[in-house]
Amino acid sequence: MLIDGHGREVNYLRVSLTERCNFRCQYCMPEKPFSWVPKENLLSFEDLFKFIKAAIDEGITKIRLTGGEPTLRADLDKFIKMIYDYKNDIDLAMTTNGYLLKSIAKDLKEAGLKRLNISLDSLKPEVAAKIAGKDVLRNVLDGIEEALKVGLKVKINMVPLKGVNEDEIVDILDFCKDRGMQVRFIEYMENVHAHSSLKGMQGKEILNKIKEKYEIEKIGRKGSSPAFLYKIKNEDYIFGLIDPHKHDFCETCNRIRLTAEGYLIPCLYFDEAMSIKDAVQAGDIDRAVEILKEVLRNKPKENRWSEEESEASNRAFYETGG
């Protein structure tokens, strides 16, 4: 079992497969062009798998593949199958923008992927294009449809932004409700890589928009999930709100992040990271596990976004995987 310096059990590993992305979401990527980490600096699937096996042996029971855009990595299905074949009861999930999903959803499901979170910020083509930096909506909707068709469990992530997509909160909720998918509204987390003009909607404001159409009931958090769940009154439908500006989910934080370059990051907000790359590439898995335990010992108690005045994080979401 992996325990951090604050006594929390850590059983959830989020693995960013690449920082590259085919979108340029305003809340995630810088306005100005920048250069990517060279591909040769990324950990190969073989090296990632060596670490993942050791992490599973130490007590990791849930793995989420993310990025950047994870579907940009070739042979993703083979990598998923490697993990699945090692331990088929691992809760194996992925977060994707859905753009490339239509042609690969079936292969990913057959390889052992269980669940998908797909980002969907707007149902209006021009708004989706404004947020993502290109015309994306048709592909994303086709990707969602295909994922459902092949039997993947799908949740939808939406980041509501003031003056951009705030008028679509209920439309996206209804879209998800009609298709039996849980939507999770994620408060915009301020970071120095995002477009400077952005203003996120606070949890309360998001709920108020929903209350204009529906009566809602509080359910609460399930386990270590960051999402606070709500139910639409007199219906079966449940949706989630992720509000990192309150710190109540930090108390039960169970996660650690690995970047595509091999840095272990103890908290989404903070810069601190240690690399397992040299150890893994040298075949010294014991050392990689020691580094994992050291990073966990130093995991901060909570992030530094706040309801009053948030400090922007230096961490890039496209590196850490959100």
Q: Which residues bind ligand SF4 (CB under 6 A)?
A: 21, 23-25, 28-29, 67-69, 97, 317-318
Tokens read off for 65 = 């593949």
Asked whether position 2 contacts ligand SAM by CB under 6 A, the answer is no
Residue in 69, 146, 168, 243 binding ligand SAM, rule: CB under 6 A: 69
Task: State how beta strands 216-221 and 227-232 pair.
Answer: antiparallel
Asked whether position 203 contacts ligand SAM by CB under 6 A, the answer is no
Residue in 11, 122, 191, 259 binding ligand SAM, rule: CB under 6 A: 191
To ligand SF4, the closest distance from the beta carbon of 258 in angstroms equals: 16
To ligand SF4, the closest distance from the beta carbon of 26 in angstroms equals: 9
Residue in 19, 60, 67, 122 binding ligand SAM, rule: CB under 6 A: 67
Which string of DSSP letters, residue by residue, matches 123-182?
SSHHHHHHHHSS--HHHHHHHHHHHHHTT-EEEEEE--BTTTTGGGHHHHHHHHHHTT-E
Asked whether position 21 contacts ligand SAM by CB under 6 A, the answer is yes
Element (H, E) at 39: none
User: In the β-sheet with 263-265, what is the strand arrangement from edge to edge?
Assistant: 216-221, 227-232, 238-242, 182-186, 153-158, 115-119, 91-96, 62-66, 12-16, 255-258, 263-265, 274-275
To ligand SF4, the closest distance from the beta carbon of 286 in angstroms equals: 33
Burial class (CB within 10 angstroms; exposed 0-12, middle 13-18, buried 19+) of 20: middle
For ligand SAM, which stretch binds (CB under 6 A), given 3-11, 33-41, 189-197, 260-268?
189-197
Which residue sits closest to ligand SAM, CB atoms considered?
Answer: 322
112 binds, among ligand SF4, ligand SAM, none (CB under 5 to 8 A by kind): none
Distances (CA, A) of 295 to 47, 58, 252, 258: 19, 14, 17, 11
d(CA 204, CA 202): 5
105 binds, among ligand SAM, ligand SF4, none (CB under 5 to 8 A by kind): none
Closer residue to ligand SAM (CB): 260 or 279: 260
Residue in 11, 18, 66, 310 binding ligand SAM, rule: CB under 6 A: 66
**Binding-site ranges for ligand SAM (CB under 6 A):** 21, 27-28, 66-67, 69, 95-97, 119, 157, 159, 186, 188-189, 191, 194, 317-318, 321-322
